[in-house]
Amino acid sequence: MHSTLKRLLLAAALAALSCAPALAQEYVIGSLQDLSGPTADVGKPYGDGIRDGARYINESGMLGQAKVKLIAVDYAYNAQQALAAYKKFTSQDKILALQGWGTQDTEALTQFVARDKVPCISASYSAHLTEGSKAPYNFFVAADYSTQIRGALKYFKDNWKEQRAPKLALVYPNHPYGLAPIPAAKDYAKELGFELVGEENVDLKAMDATAQLLRLQKAAPDFVWIGGTTQSTAVVLKDAQKMGFKTRFFTNIWGSDENLPPLAGSAADGVVSLQTAVSYGQDVPGMKAIEKLTGGQPQMTHYIRAFASMLVMAEAIKLAQAKGPVTGETLKAALESLRDYSPLGLTPPISYFPEDHRPNMSVMLYTFENGKMKLLATQTLERKKEWLGK
Amino acid sequence: MSAPCGLFFTSYAQESALFPSRFLKASMALFFVALVVLPPWMNSYHVSVLCLINIAVIGAVSLNLLTGSCGQISLGHGAFVGVGAYTAGVLAAKGVPFLLALPASGLLAALAGMLFGLPSLRLKGIYLAISTLAAQLILEYVFLHWESVTGGSNGLAVMPPEIFGYAFDNDLKMFYLTLAAASLCALGAANVLRSRLGRAFVSIRDHYLSAEIVGVSLFGYKLRAFGLSSFLAGVSGALWAHYTMFLSPEQFGIGLSISYLAMIIIGGMGRVAGAVYGAVFITVLPEALNALSASAEAWMPGMTSNLMALKGGVFGLALILFLLFEPEGLAHRWRLIKAYWKLYPFAH
């Protein structure tokens, strides 16, 4: 009798123990952030967005009883530190998925995440990461750099009123990030009937761009693409203003943001910033949640994109959860089954396919007016097969 | 009668032995055995940090040979590492066996190093530093724009190495491979320093005019220093390529060159052990700071991001403190500690 009672108690204890983790299911997400390296100016708001996204998922009960546990590591935009952090994530923290950051870590880890089956959503938007066959576990929530520039060119061409061909010039740094969308830009500009009148290199750390702009001024371009970061864009814009440029400047996702007006002053007015998320204060459902989490403190568009990135990851976890145990493989399959998922309206709807990890073909064109970002248009392109990975 | 107390050399060979005392030999053997035996019990994070240390050790030893021993400052070492890495990546893609590709990567890096070392006949000190900085910029440009070979901004994927069909496809296997390479490189560099070549390097570093007067061909030996150092840098790059399995031009920027310089300054210039200590210190420092900030989160929630943002500053501070208080590096400090215990309780 006594031993039966003991056995019963033991069985009950074992049952309770085995149930306990199921009740308090926790999905560990690793986050690589640059808080002390060369991209910390945008890395910090992006990291805040990731952290607040995790808070929102847990507080809103988006995953039911389950929670996400975020483990952030500052890798200072260094491939070696990213690798070490990733090893810590996979061996010690047993992460389910990774929220990556820039080119250095995302590209250095592409083969590792594929081998270890760890889905990675990052903020490095190079087109070659969108090919499911080459980077099967890499995802991102923004249109890739090439799609962004193609979208802007399409918008400018559609709104071009003059009879002659619009003249385009490209200004970018001699840097992997700067060079990434250039072949796509040249090809598509030619296809649309732009005349490429100049190409100049301005370094990311440039203090002056007069020499390059003098050459461009002679070519009198109608549109000038700036493919740098906010600081180098500000240098180009201020020099162009001094020289009396009459042209429309447009920049990619890291080339201008809410920091541009304080850096470039009135030279920022009229510049078109290509983004893939709403700006703070826009009327979409997700903004209410963000305003609540941040106490009404304005956040950069990078923060909002990071927040959306966490929502996309959580939605995929939810889909995978419904089908059974969530693993890296099932999470990847769930991500690839997303169709027109809107992360509370914060970005254009997102769909991934097994061979095609382009989240969408939409770019949002913002323009600066009196120091504020104002939505000009959202341009959506056709999901062409020949553009995949290029 | 027992052996004499302390180090008491009676021949030149004894003095220049790599491990002059039996105690040192035994402790080094024990350390090596521990290095070989312990990793299977470690998790893959710790093993991966050890792999990174091994690769950094080769890079630091190679720069120490050039800068610490021969006095030729190089700000282009990161790019020479890159030449080795890309060579390994390209050769692996062409199906060249790893055992051939590894020395080939070293050789091509050595060629690049010697080519950019040519101005060293005319240039010294800060002038040479700028000329090697030019090498860094030129090579970075080549990595980025020679797309058909390096993949340009898209990068280059590399597979794990294979030796006679045995694939080194996890951290533990890569650890043994990199440990073997690092040990061979460190021993090789230590032996070079004991040879005629090494003595010529040191004489050039200490006073180039005197060296020339006693018959040291400055140009020949400087070029050899560049060649040998770049060879080891190339080997380090090849291992890095196979370990990370992906190469992009950003990995071999000026930051890498500076980090190798920091390693030899913190470790101790001109000594192989110094390069090893420096490589360990610089590789482990960010990991230690990360661990510290993660544990601080428990009692200071929300402080993690602020603490992590201090990392860059801590790195700079460590460098300045070493320059101020321990300019001869960790190797010198270690000698002082050993001497203290040897003489204890008598200070002199």
Quick one: pLDDT at residue B49? Answer: 94
| Domain boundaries, given as residue ranges, for chain A | 26-143+280-359, 146-275+366-380
**Res B315: pLDDT:** 78
Whether B193 and B69 have beta carbons less than 8 Å apart is answered as: yes
| Smallest CA–CA distance from A134 into chain B, residue | B157
Q: Is A174 in contact with B310 (Cβ distance < 8 A)? A: no
* Nearest one of A261, A230, A296, A285 to A367, comparing CA atoms: A261
Inter-chain touch A176–B45, beta carbons under 8 Å: no
Task: Give the whole-angstrom CA distance, residue B122 versus residue B134.
Answer: 15
Task: Measure the CA–CA gap between B285 and B314, rounded to whole angstroms.
Answer: 9
- How is residue B336 written in tokens? 């002082």
CB B78 within 8 A of CB B254: yes
What is the separation of C-alpha A241 from the centre of its chain, rounded to a whole number of angstroms?
30
Band the pLDDT of B119: cuts 50, 70, 90: confident
Q: Which of A154, A176, A178, A98 is nearest to A361 (CA)?
A: A154
Domain parsing of chain B, residue ranges = 43-343
- Name chain B contacts of A33, Cβ cutoff 8 Å: 305, 308
pLDDT digits (tens, 9 = 90+) for B134-167: 999 999 999 999 989 998 888 898 989 999 989 8
Identity of residue B336: L
pLDDT value of residue B122: 82
Query: B304 falls in which pLDDT band (50, 70, 90)?
Result: low
Q: Which pair of tokens denotes residue A38? A: 């060369």
| Nearest-CB residue to B248 (from A33, A73, A103) | A103
d(CA B139, CA B146): 10
Query: Residues of A with CB below 8 A from B44's CB?
Result: 87, 90-91
Three-state SS for A372? strand
Length of chain B: 348
Residue A1 in this model has a pLDDT that exceeds 60: no
* Confidence at B1, pLDDT banded by 50, 70, 90: very low
pLDDT of the residue at B21: 77
CA distance B297 to chain A (A): 11
Nearest Cα residue to B29 out of B19, B14, B38: B19
Rounded CA-CA distance B257/B244 in Å is: 18
Mean pLDDT for the stretch of residues A256-284: 94
pLDDT of residue B309: 64
- B283 min Cα distance to partner chain A (Å): 8
Q: Which CATH superfamily is domain A26-143+280-359 in?
A: Response regulator (3.40.50.2300)
The verdict on B303 touching A (C-beta cutoff 8 Å) is no
B313: closest chain A residue by CA:
A36
Q: Are the beta carbons of A384 and A125 closer than 8 angstroms?
A: no
**Cβ–Cβ below 8 Å for A83 and B144:** no
Contact A87 B171 (CB under 8 A): yes
Mutation for testing the A interface, residue in B290, B314, B317 having most A CBs under 10 Å = B290
Nearest CA of chain B to the CA of A381: how many Å? Answer: 23
Cβ distance B310 to A36 less than 8 Å, yes or no, reads yes
Ordered alpha helix ranges (H), chain A? 2-23, 40-60, 79-88, 103-116, 145-158, 176-179, 182-192, 210-219, 230-242, 260-264, 285-294, 301-323, 328-336
Residues in chain A: 390
CA A272 to chain centre: 18
pLDDT in tens, B254-284: 989 999 999 999 998 888 999 999 999 999 9
CATH number 3.30.300.30 is the correct assignment for the domain at A146-275+366-380:
no
* Residue B18: predicted pLDDT: 80
Q: Per-residue pLDDT tens for A271-303?
A: 999 999 999 989 999 999 999 999 989 999 999
Give the model's pLDDT for residue A118: 97
| Distance from C-alpha of A159 to C-alpha of A161, rounded to nearest angstrom | 6
Q: Which CATH number fits domain B43-343: 1.10.3470, 1.20.120, 2.10.240, 3.90.1720?
A: 1.10.3470
Q: How confident is the model at residue A12 (pLDDT cuts 50, 70, 90)?
A: low
Contact B287 A33 (CB under 8 A): no
- Give me chain B's average pLDDT, please: 88
- Name chain A contacts of B47, Cβ cutoff 8 Å: 87
Q: Is residue A3 predicted with pLDDT exceeding 70?
A: no
DSSP string across A262-309? HHHGGGGTT-EEEESSPPTT-SSHHHHHHHHHHTT----HHHHHHHHH
Of A80, A87, A75, the C-alpha closest to B172 is A87
Which ranges of A24-144 does DSSP label H, i.e. alpha helix? 40-60, 79-88, 103-116
| Residue B66 DSSP code | I
The yes-or-no verdict on residue B6 having pLDDT over 80 is no
- Kindly list the residues from chain A whose CB atom is less than 8 angstroms away from the CB atom of residue B52: 80, 83-84
Chain A contacts of B286, Cβ < 8 Å?
A: 75-76, 78, 81, 84
Interface membership of A133 toward B (CB under 8 Å):
no
B286 and A47 within 8 Å at the Cβ level: the answer is no
Q: Which two tokens stand for residue B101?
A: 């590709």
